[in-house]
């Protein structure tokens, strides 16, 4: 941020309702939004200058974003990664008319999604700003996904999300981060980040209704005071009143009291006595459950001016998408076979096809098709297989795979199920440090196969291949397997069609798999 803006007040708070409830969804105090005005006014001047130049506005601007999936002190309650991908899709749909698209920016320490914060004072109230600052991404917009956003506002209602000006981050209730439509909460907060006030600025704490002493004519000065005057319907004071944006008509926070997105017909008049006609479905309003929301052209131009300003130099703008759409094939999943029984109860190798445009794959596995039990696991990999080892015998498991990249979270997932056998068909693991391993593909029809090895701790082993007569046809000594997932490529080009045994051998044990060569 610019030096003059470092003395901001505590927070700018904002939350946009995504659906109608009896309890209003509210934002922070109007006083906090006063801190937006200096940057807003600078951006308006830049906007006017841009309009006087022959600038090309057709080029999409890519904006980095990083999500922090916060848990409580025990690490529980973190939002699911699949919901983040759905939200990325919805956010980009909202900002496509703006000419901005958001992409996942990996943290150099915490990866694609930061799941390292297990702290009640972030999960429940965000009072631990020291920890939040330590974990923030310095080159992306930071979004902390929590159980309860606590903004410090003094309004009745539920805070869904808020934008904190001095910290320059967004905090959102996890129920608001998903692809559910109408999706408006995070797009609304992003508008604040790019210096857009509420369309009803000045009336946050006191919506204009028949209980007001001046009804039906609104007061000349908004209830906030502080020099914030009430906007007139004819636009004669639009550049200096309310949100100071001229193509957003007057709105005296009618959305707060309407609980729907119907055309306003409450009878309120501006200070000159003219009936007020607000823009109900503006992203920066409080009207609920609109089928679609929009930004006006002035709002769009102001956001672009802010993105191009010196205060946003920290945002990495070198991103070039590998693909802007991903089509998931119907036959994405390869193995195990749908509804089949896998060989071992305590491990299974999940395999799928490579998808054009995808850089990552989200894999969910659980004992129910809704993927919501305590046994649910989510794995994000860049390859086309993953080895699952902590399974139970005689169970039906459901799994799904969703391809994605840093920009595209919209691709469909494909799902299957399989059954584990009883405990008599265990995969014996005699080697210390080895938790499970598989051969892929098997049967093999190419010159190479891959050994996918999961290790609880680092160990060293030899890889021996023998034919069914017990003769060693190849051996590689001293292969080092590190803790975690390992992939080892085994050359089988010289092996004839038939059945072989592949064994991992260490000083304290031996573990064997069958390999079929079928070309």
Residue 409 tokens read as: 């979270």
Nearest CA-CA partner of 119 in 161, 164, 74: 74
Q: Report the residue count for the chain.
A: 519
- Could you tell me if 245 and 204 are in contact, meaning their C-beta atoms sit under 8 angstroms apart? no
Helix (H, G, I), strand (E, B) or coil at 245: coil
Helices 185-193 and 81-95: crossing angle, nearest 10°?
60
Burial class (CB in 10 A: 0-12, 13-18, 19+), 129: middle
- Could you tell me if 330 and 416 are in contact, meaning their C-beta atoms sit under 8 angstroms apart? no
pLDDT at 3: 32
pLDDT at 512: 87
Distance CA 206, CA 197 (A): 16
pLDDT at 96: 97
Strands 161-164, 169-173: parallel, antiparallel or unpaired by DSSP? antiparallel
Distance CA 237, CA 314 (A): 35
For 289, left (φ over 0), alpha (ψ -120 to 50), or beta? left
Phi, psi of 121 (to 5 degrees): -85, 5
Distance CA 509, CA 278 (A): 75
Residue spans of the chain under pLDDT 50 = 1-22
pLDDT at 54: 55
For 114, half-sphere exposure in the C-beta direction (CA atoms, 13 angstrom radius) is 27
CA 216 to chain centre: 44
**CATH numbers and ranges of domains, the chain:** 1-19+28-47+61-196+295-318 (3.40.390), 199-294 (no CATH), 333-425 (2.60.40.10), 434-517 (2.60.40.1930)
In sequence order, which residues have a C-beta less than 8 Å from that of residue 174 and are 6 or more positions away? 77, 79, 83, 145, 146, 147
pLDDT at 287: 92
pLDDT at 20: 31
Cis peptide before 216 (omega within 30 of 0): yes
First to last CA, the chain: 62
pTM for the model: 0.84
Looking at the DSSP bridge assignments, the partners of residue 30 are none
Strands in 448-455's sheet, in edge-to-edge order, are: 434-440, 448-455, 484-491
- Could you tell me if 442 and 495 are in contact, meaning their C-beta atoms sit under 8 angstroms apart? no
Nearest CA-CA partner of 154 in 204, 193, 197: 204
pLDDT at 129: 96
CA dihedral 161, 164, 169, 175 (to 10 degrees): -10
Distance CA 379, CA 442 (A): 23
One DSSP character per residue, 344-385 reads: -SS-EEEEE---TT-SEEEEEEESSTT--STT-EEEEESSSE
> For 405-455, what is each residue's pLDDT tens digit?
999 999 999 999 999 988 766 777 789 899 999 999 988 888 999 999 999
Residue 215 tokens read as: 């009804």
Burial class (CB in 10 A: 0-12, 13-18, 19+), 518: exposed
Between the alpha carbon of residue 174 and those of residues 40, 42, 269, 282, the distances in Å are: 29, 33, 38, 23
Nearest CA-CA partner of 76 in 128, 34, 117: 117
For 90, half-sphere exposure in the C-beta direction (CA atoms, 13 angstrom radius) is 23
Residue 26 tokens read as: 């509210």
Residue 469 tokens read as: 């007569």
Reduce the secondary structure of 85-120 to three states and give it as a string. Answer: HHHHHHHHHHHCCCCEEEEECCECCCECCECCCECH
pLDDT at 154: 55
pLDDT at 6: 30
Distance CA 10, CA 123 (A): 19
Looking at the DSSP bridge assignments, the partners of residue 198 are none
Distance CA 400, CA 415 (A): 4
């Amino acid at each position: 941020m610019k030096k003059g803006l470092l003395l901001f007040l505590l927070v700018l708070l904002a939350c946009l309702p995504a659906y109608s409830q009896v309890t209003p969804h509210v934002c922070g105090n109007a006083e906090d939004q006063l801190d937006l005005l200096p940057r807003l006014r600078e951006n308006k001047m830049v906007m006017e200058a841009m309009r006087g130049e022959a600038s090309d506005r057709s080029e999409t601007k890519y904006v980095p974003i990083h999500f922090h999936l916060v848990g409580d002190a025990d690490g529980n309650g973190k939002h699911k990664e699949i919901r983040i991908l759905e939200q990325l899709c919805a956010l980009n749909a909202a900002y496509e008319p703006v000419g901005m698209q958001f992409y996942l920016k990996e943290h150099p320490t915490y990866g694609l999604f930061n799941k390292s914060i297990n702290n009640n004072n972030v999960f429940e109230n965000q009072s631990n700003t020291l920890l939040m600052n330590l974990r923030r991404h310095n080159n992306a917009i930071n979004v902390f996904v929590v159980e309860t956003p606590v903004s410090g506002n003094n309004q009745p209602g539920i805070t869904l999300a808020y934008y904190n000006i001095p910290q320059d981050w967004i905090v959102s209730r996890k129920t608001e981060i998903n692809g559910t439509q109408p999706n408006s909460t995070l797009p609304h907060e992003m508008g604040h980040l790019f210096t857009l006030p509420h369309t009803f600025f000045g009336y946050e704490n006191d919506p204009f209704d028949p209980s007001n002493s001046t009804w039906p004519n609104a007061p000349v000065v908004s209830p906030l005071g502080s020099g914030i005057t009430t906007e007139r319907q004819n636009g004669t004071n639009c550049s200096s009143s309310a949100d100071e944006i001229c193509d957003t008509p007057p709105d005296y926070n009618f959305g707060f009291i309407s609980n729907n997105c119907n055309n306003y017909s409450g009878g309120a008049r501006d200070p000159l006595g003219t009936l007020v006609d607000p823009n109900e479905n503006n992203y920066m309003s409080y009207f609920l459950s609109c089928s679609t929301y929009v930004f006006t052209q002035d709002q769009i131009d102001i956001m672009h001016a802010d993105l191009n300003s010196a205060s946003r130099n920290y945002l990495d703008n070198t991103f070039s998408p590998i693909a802007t759409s991903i089509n998931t094939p119907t036959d994405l999943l390869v193995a195990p076979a749908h509804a089949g029984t896998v060989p071992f109860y305590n491990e299974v190798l999940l395999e799928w096809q490579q998808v054009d445009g995808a850089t990552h794959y989200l894999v969910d596995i659980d004992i129910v098709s809704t993927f919501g039990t305590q046994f649910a696991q989510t794995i994000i990999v860049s390859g086309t297989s993953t080895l699952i080892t902590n399974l139970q015998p005689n169970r039906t498991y459901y799994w799904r795979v969703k391809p994605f990249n840093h920009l595209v979270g919209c691709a469909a997932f494909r799902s299957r199920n399989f059954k584990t056998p009883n405990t008599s068909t265990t995969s014996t693991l005699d080697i210390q440090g080895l938790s499970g391993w598989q051969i892929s593909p098997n049967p093999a029809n190419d010159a190479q196969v891959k050994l996918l090895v999961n290790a609880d701790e680092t160990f060293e082993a030899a890889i021996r291949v023998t034919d069914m007569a017990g003769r060693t046809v190849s051996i590689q000594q001293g292969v080092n397997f590190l803790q975690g997932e390992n992939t080892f490529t085994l050359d089988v080009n010289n092996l004839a069609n038939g059945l072989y045994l592949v064994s991992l051998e260490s000083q304290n044990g031996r573990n064997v798999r069958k390999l079929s060569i079928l070309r």
